[in-house]
Amino acid sequence: MKINMRSIFSLLLLVFLTSCQSVPDNSYLNLANVVNHLELNGIKITQIQPLDASLLGASEAVAVMIGRQEIGIYKYDIMVSKQRKILERARENEYIYVAAMKYPTIVKGAFVFIGIVNHPQKIKLIEAIQTLK
């Protein structure tokens, strides 16, 4: 019986660890780290404003003015089941709904970026996001 319990526990632990690794782990970063990373990659940020993260089911959010156009950056807590599901859906579908409007997204780890697809600095932003660790 002891061996069976150990086997079951080991199997459950393996399943749990495997499911957690489906999201690249940059959850240790905060929004200030992400904004700083963008600036270090040559993106000039002129303004940062807090957003209501709960509108997208996230834990934190900011609006970042780059040039004359804003992008939204949302951080999700991957340890919270509901937030992890929203994040996975945004990753799979490549869009998210905000106030019944569909917005294309770029997902990197625990972060969802909105407003990149139509931004004049799209290529530079995507390159910076891809190097975010």
102: tokens are: 């569909």
The reported pLDDT for the residue numbered 58 is: 97
Per-residue pLDDT of the chain (133 residues; tens, 9 = 90+): 455 556 555 555 555 554 544 546 899 999 999 999 999 999 999 999 999 999 999 999 999 999 999 999 999 999 999 999 999 999 999 999 988 899 999 999 999 999 999 999 999 999 999 999 8
Do 26 and 131 contact (CB within 8 A), yes or no? Answer: no
CATH numbers and ranges of domains, the chain: 23-130 (3.40.1000)
